[in-house]
Amino acid sequence: MEKKQWNRRDLLKSLGVAAAAAPLAASSPANEMSAGRSSIQDLSPYPEKRDRKPGETIKAIVVGAGSRGWGAYSSYGLKYPDELQVVGVAEPIPYRRERMSKAFNIPEKHQFTTWEHVFELPKFADAIIITTPDDLHYGPAMAGLELGYDLLLEKVIAQTWEECNDILRLTEKKGAIVAVCHVLRYNPYFRKMKEVIEAGAIGEVVSVQHLEPVERIHMSHSFVRGNWRNSKKSNPMILSKSCHDTDILRWLINKPSHKVSSFGSLSLFREAMAPEGSTDRCTGGCAVEKDCPYSAIRLYKEQRGWLQHLNLEEVNDETILRELKDGPYGRCVYRCDNDVVDHQVSNFEFEEGITAAFSMEALTHYGGRRTRIFGTEGDLFGDEKTLTITNAITGKQDVWDARKAMKGSSGHGGGDHGLVHDFVRAVDKKDASLLTSTIQVSMESHLMGFQAEASRLEGGKVMEIKLQG
Ligand SMILES: NC(=O)c1ccc[n+]([C@@H]2O[C@H](COP(=O)([O-])OP(=O)(O)OC[C@H]3O[C@@H](n4cnc5c(N)ncnc54)[C@H](O)[C@@H]3O)[C@@H](O)[C@H]2O)c1
């Protein structure tokens, strides 16, 4: 692809869609900072702009054929079979294993009920796609690396910093390609934000204010009733939900963070908050079920939302009700074994005195990250719909509409398929530099999360973030 040097003037021209297009400010050293990247016009979602992959089709084994393994990543292979072929699957739930096997014609000898069996055979593919629950990342990652596989590894890398380091060391020993699924780095909206900063459009970054509004129902589904509810079974919220945010902050600021202080707790979703007359399950004769915003009967049976994590081979009223009576998603949100926080604030200090204030707020009626970035020559605001860049001297604004770039794309605004697109090329060429979310760079943002949690548990004590040791 032809490289083009472009600067702030090019950038603002290419944003192009502002209602009141701004006169361009006089150039300054920061304005003229050019990123040496291809034109901003190239930032449409990957599949639309993909170059044909030269070389062989990448063969992968999917370990954990649930929502991510099937919906987010294998779907790339169904769409682009010349690039990715799934040749093995490990999945204990029969219909999910069969769904994958049928779609990719996987021979019976390569259909497994659990990840361990994959590694009893000699290597039979290029890569392992690890999309098991968080507590089952370490095992298949280490076993896969040992046998010489490359990995597409779902975040969180592992449950402890020590385990993350084990995976990193083995990756480097084996010279493997390991992509961590920080899919936001492959999403056009965040890519545009990074390009704007790198072009010097707001001067030098001084500070960032970043909000992750999880949204109440999402919280109740994933972090109260669901797989990420308990920090021992999965990870603390700052990692399981917010490793994307620490990663985006580290990526946008492009400098290491040295210190963090964090506060947060679980306020709403605990037994002390349970309304009078509520029962252990929404189907158990709960007196307030009809008025409860978290009624599982309304969310799952009537609205048919969030069904991808329920164990449902067939979706109908009867099967959903059966799941709600016996499974985790029918439980009262005030009476689960959840312990992850529903609000947390973390302050990070980066090199050169740059600061970032990050809030994870579960109790919102809306989702979509909000980010404000303050620079020496202007500021930027984004809400995953639009990006607004304001010039400090003229006060004029440029607005870029992210919705157009993300229309019709895969999950995470195109980030899911964007990641696989880069991964298959990195594996094909044995070149990790074709990825932006290697395990090497992801370690740093994971450590930011581990240290933020350590700070929270120690009442907000300032923690150092040091990669070595
Ligand atoms: N990158 C992202 O934005 C993103 C988003 C959501 C989830 N995730 C991560 O992806 C991973 C999977 O999440 P999900 O939403 O797909 O969950 P899921 O429950 O839908 O899928 C996990 C699958 O693993 C299977 N499994 C369980 N034990 C297994 C075993 N021993 N061997 C093989 N398979 C086994 C389960 O049956 C299930 O089908 C998690 O680590 C999660 O944190 C990442």
What are the tens digits of pLDDT across the range 215-266?
A: 999 999 999 999 999 999 999 999 999 999 999 999 999 999 999 999 999 9
Domain ends where: 125, 157, 176?
Answer: 176
393-408 pLDDT, tens digit each: 999 899 998 887 777 6
Domain annotation covers residue 18: no
- Whole-number average pLDDT of the chain: 89
**pTM for this structure?**
0.90
Grouping H, G, I as helix, E, B as strand and the rest as coil, residue 386 is: strand
If you ran DSSP here, which 8-state letter would residue 200 be given?
T
344 and 397 share one domain: yes
Q: Which of 68, 98, 99, 152 to mutate to test the pocket of ligand 1 (most atoms within 8 A of CB)?
A: 68
103 and 166 share one domain: yes
Ligand 1 centre to CA of 136 (Å) is 9
280 and 153 share one domain: no
Domain annotation covers residue 39: no
Q: Which residues contact 76 (CB under 8 A, 6 or more apart)?
A: 83, 84, 410, 416, 417, 420, 421
Q: Which of 61, 119, 132, 248 to mutate to test the pocket of ligand 1 (most atoms within 8 A of CB)?
A: 132
234 and 344 share one domain: yes
290 and 398 share one domain: no
Ligand 1 centre to CA of 464 (Å) is 31
Euclidean distance between CA atoms 171 and 428, whole angstroms: 17
Minimum-distance ligand 1 atom for the alpha carbon of 93: 37
Domain annotation covers residue 9: no
Per-residue pLDDT, 39: 39
Ligand 1 centre to CA of 397 (Å) is 42
Euclidean distance between CA atoms 404 and 419, whole angstroms: 20
Domain annotation covers residue 23: no
Token pair in block for residue 261:
């202080």
Q: Are strands 378-382 and 150-153 parallel, antiparallel or unpaired?
A: unpaired
Q: Which residues contact 454 (CB under 8 A, 6 or more apart)?
A: 463
Euclidean distance between CA atoms 70 and 420, whole angstroms: 13
Euclidean distance between CA atoms 187 and 403, whole angstroms: 11
CB 80 within 8 A of CB 47: yes
Q: In the structure, what pLDDT confidence band is assigned to residue 45 with cuts at 50, 70 and 90?
A: very low
Give the range of the structural domain holding residue 325, as residue numbers without chain letter.
Answer: 271-330
Minimum-distance ligand 1 atom for the alpha carbon of 90: 33
Ligand 1 centre to CA of 313 (Å) is 17
- 70: domain CATH number? 3.40.50.720
Residue 280 vs residues 64, 176, 226, 302, 331: alpha-carbon distances, Å:
30, 47, 15, 20, 6
135-158 pLDDT, tens digit each: 999 999 999 999 999 999 999 999
Per-residue pLDDT, 175: 97
216 and 283 share one domain: no
Token pair in block for residue 253:
């600021």
Find out whether the beta carbon of 70 lies less than 6 Å from any atom of ligand 1: no
The closest of 403, 364, 280, 368 to 330, measured between CA atoms, is: 280
Domain annotation covers residue 368: yes
Per-residue pLDDT, 346: 98
Q: In the structure, what pLDDT confidence band is assigned to residue 56 with cuts at 50, 70 and 90?
A: confident
Per-residue pLDDT, 341: 98
Ligand 1 centre to CA of 137 (Å) is 9
Domain annotation covers residue 309: yes
Per-residue pLDDT, 30: 30
Q: What's the number of domains the chain is made of? A: 3
Domain ends where: 176, 211, 228?
Answer: 176
Find out whether the beta carbon of 250 lies less than 6 Å from any atom of ligand 1: no
Q: Which helix (H) or strand (E) holds 355?
A: strand 355-361
Per-residue pLDDT, 409: 72
Per-residue pLDDT, 22: 35
Ligand 1 centre to CA of 131 (Å) is 5
The closest of 184, 181, 187 to 212, measured between CA atoms, is: 184
385 and 265 share one domain: yes
CB 260 within 8 A of CB 463: yes
Euclidean distance between CA atoms 126 and 103, whole angstroms: 19
55 and 134 share one domain: yes
Domain annotation covers residue 451: yes
- 399: domain CATH number? 3.30.360.10
Ligand 1 centre to CA of 104 (Å) is 19
pLDDT above 60 (res 98): yes
226 and 369 share one domain: yes
Domain annotation covers residue 22: no
253 and 299 share one domain: no
257 and 374 share one domain: yes
Per-residue pLDDT, 50: 56
213 and 277 share one domain: no
Domain ends where: 309, 330, 351?
Answer: 330
